[in-house]
Amino acid sequence: MIVTVTPNPSIDRTVTLPGALTRGAVHRVTSVTSQAGGKGVNVARALTLAGVETVAVLPAAANDPLVTALQAIAVPFRVVPTAEPARTNLTVTEPDGTTTKINEPGATLDAATVAALTDAVLEAADGADWVVMSGSLPPGVPASWYADVVARLASHPCRIAVDTSDAPLAALVGALDRGAPDLIKPNGEELASVLGLAPETLENAAAQGDPAPVVSAARRLIDRGIGAVLATLGAAGAVLVDRNGAWLATPPPITPRSTVGAGDSSLAGYVRAEVGGAVPPQRLQMAVGYGSAAAALPGTTLPTPAQIDLNAVQVSPISPIPATH
State the DSSP code for 153. G
87-90 long-range contacts, CB within 8 A, separation 24+: 87/8, 87/9, 87/10, 87/11, 87/138, 88/10, 88/11, 88/12, 88/13, 89/10, 89/11, 89/12, 89/13, 89/37, 90/13, 90/14, 90/15
Question: Phi/psi of residue 285, each to 5°?
Answer: -60, -45
Question: Phi/psi of residue 100, each to 5°?
Answer: -115, 125
96 in catalytic set: no
Q: Where are the beta strands (DSSP E) in 70-151?
A: 77-82, 87-93, 99-102, 130-134
Annotate 157-197 with DSSP letters as a single string: SSEEEEE--HHHHHHHHHTTTT---SEE--BHHHHHHHTT-
CB atoms < 10 A from the CB of 156, how many? 14
- Which residue in 12, 64, 163, 264 is the catalytic one? 264
Identity of the residue numbered 267: L
Residues carrying an active site annotation:
264
